[in-house]
Structure 1
Amino acid sequence: MYIQSLLGGLISVLTPGVFLMTLILIIALSRLNLTKDARLFAISIFCALIIIYYAILGVFLNNTTPNDLASFSSSLIFKYLIIIFNVTLGLWLLGFLKVISSNLDSNRLFKSLVIVIMSIVFTAISFSGTGPIIGTILIANSEATTIIATVTPLLIFAIGLTIPIGLIVYFMSKLISKKKEKKWFNIVQSLTGVILITLTIIGLFVG
C-alpha cells in the first residue's frame, strides 16, 4: 500500500495539470527575485504545505466512496479557485499587472502570500487531476478503521509528489534566474501566460 502510494505520487508528476503547474511555479519563483537561500526556503515551505493539505484532505476523505471523491475533486470551489488563480497569474506573466507587482515584488509578505496561494492551487489541481490514482489508493485502503490509517497513504502520496517537484523547481528556477534577462525567457513567460488564460477560457466552455 505504501509503495503504491509513493509510486502514485511520483507518477502524478507526469500528469498534464501537475506538469503545467510545475512550469508556472518555476517561472513565478524567478519573477520573485529570490536569493539562493530564500528560493530553497520558499520551495521547502511550498512542499511542506502541500503535504499538510493532503493530510487535511485525508481527514475529510475518511470513509469516502469513489463517487464522493469524484464529486469532491470536481466541486465548484476547486473550479472557481483555479479559474481566479489562472487568470490572475496569466495576466501577471503577460505583464498586465506590472505596475502592481513591481511595487510588491520586494515585499516579503507578498512573496509569502504567492507561495501559500500557489501551494493551495497546486494541491487543488493535483488532487483533481490525479483522481484515478488517489481513488485507487483510497479503495486499496478502504478497510482502514482509523483516521491515521486513512491519512498515511495520502501523506506518502504527497511526499512522492513533492520530492521530484521540489528538485525540478529548485534547479530549473536556479538556472532561469541566471538567464531571465534573455529574450527567450520573456517569450516563454508570455507564452505560458497566454496558454494559461486560453486553457482556462476553454475549460469554462467545455466544463
Structure 2
Amino acid sequence: MPTGVALRDPRQQLFDAAERILMRDGATGLTSRAVTAEAGVAKGVLHRHFADFDAFLTALVLDRIARVEAQGAALRAAAGTGTVAGNLTGALTALFEPVMMAIVVLVIARDELRTRLRAAGAARFPLVGEGTAAIAGYLRAEHDLGRLTPGADVDSLAPTLIGTAQLLFTEWRGRPEPEAVRKAVTTVLGGALP
C-alpha cells in the first residue's frame, strides 16, 4: 500500500468498505483485514481511527442508528401529509434496505458488539429498536392529528409493523414489491385508521 496519501474521510471510507463486504460476504466475511483491503488502505488505518475492530463495528452501527433517527425525524415531520399507510410503506421500505438488514445480522452475530452498543445507549435490539421508536413517534404524531382512531394502541402497532416488515424483507427473495409492503401495513393498521 502506498503511504503518505491523504484520505478524504477515512472513517467513511472504512464504513463504506464494511457495508460492501457485508452485502457480498455476510457477517462472517467481515474482518479488519477484509475492510482495509476493500477500502484500499493500509492495515494500520483502521487502528489509527478506532481502538479495535469491535470499536470500529460499534461506530459503524452507531452511524447507521443516526441515519435511522434522521429518517424517524423526517417521518414525524411528514405527519398530516399523504396517507398514513403510504408514509409507513415508504418509511419501512427505506428502513429495511439491504445494508440495514445485513447490519442487523451482524449485530445479532456479535455479542461484544451488542454489549458495546448498549453501553453507548443503543436500544436493547440495536437498529430495530430505534426503527420501532421512529415508527412509534410517527404514529403518535398522526394520532395527535386525529388521523388514527382514538383507541389506536401506538405502542403495540409500532413493534408489530416493524416485526411484520422485518419478516417480509427477510423472507422475500430480493426486495418485496411496494404493494406487498403496503398490504402488510394496511393489514397491521386494521381498525386504527378512521
Query: Do these two structures clear the TM 0.5 threshold for a shared fold by scoring above it?
Result: no
Q: Which has the higher helix share?
A: 1
TM-score by length of 1: 0.30
Larger radius of gyration between Structure 1 and Structure 2: 2
- If asked which structure has higher relative contact order (CA below 8 Å, sep 6+), I would say 1
TM-score by length of 2: 0.32
